[in-house]
Amino acid sequence: MWKLIITGVVALGAAAYKVYSDSAGSSTKPPPASPNPPIRRLGNFVIWGRPDSGKTTFILQLRGEYIKSGEKKATTSRTLYKDVKLQLAEEFVLDSIVDMPGTDDRLDDWRELVAKGDHVFYLIDLSRTDNARYAAAVRRDLKATIDALNKSSKGRKRINIIASHIDKSKWSNVDTAQVNNVLQEDPVIRQMYESMEGVKGYVYSANLTNSTSFKHLLQSIVDDLQA
């Protein structure tokens, strides 16, 4: 079971590494809801990643959709979701989310979304980082993302990396206290995160198909966005 791990800001892309678990003892339980909580709008989430990176699962969880064990949904077209209410104790609403295929022909569309969006998320499949072709594609995507952020008039310079499928990766049996250190020391991961130079960000890892793990992750993301 992964426990919450928070490190200090590291040199590569000024990224803070966080790992989330489905453990009932996690320290990221959301605070109790107030009787009449205000609705807080968080703007637009722009989300992308290579095919099978967990992007659509991430979006389904954000929308509060039930995911069956072993269920897999592929994105084949661009879909816009508006007024997405997050499943948290306090009422948070996203103005919109766009789901689209993570193929090379959509890279220009991604640049456009990054330039216009409020909060940028990119998913990395940790089980495929040793695949040279996949790693090169991720580096290209990250560089394109950073370029778009730097050209954006929004004034924000942050990217949120969601590291998925850690349970299927070579780090699945690494002691939870060492996961963040191991990820930072891996040469392939370091090359990917070097593409984030000049832009601050967070690197999260969680089991996206587990509802409890995802809620811990989501609560921390929302807290970080408001910090």
Judged by average pLDDT, the poorest of 72-76, 103-107, 207-211 is 72-76
Please give the Cα distance from 126 to 135 (Å, whole number): 10
pLDDT digits (tens, 9 = 90+) for 146-187: 999 888 877 666 899 999 998 899 988 887 667 777 888 888
Domains of the chain: 10-23+37-226 (3.40.50.300)
Give 84's contacts (C-beta < 8 A, 6+ positions apart).
45, 62, 63, 93, 94, 96, 97
165-169 contact pairs (CB < 8 A, 24+): 165/53, 165/54, 165/125, 165/126, 165/127, 165/128, 166/2, 166/19, 166/126, 166/127, 166/205, 166/207, 167/207, 168/126, 168/127, 169/126, 169/127, 169/129
Q: Do β-strands 119-125 and 44-49 pair in parallel, antiparallel, or remain unpaired?
A: parallel
Q: Count other C-beta atoms under 10 Å from residue 203's C-beta.
A: 26
pLDDT digits (tens, 9 = 90+) for 45-100: 999 999 999 999 999 999 998 766 555 666 667 899 999 999 898 899 999 999 99
Q: The tokens 């939870």 sit on which residue?
A: 176
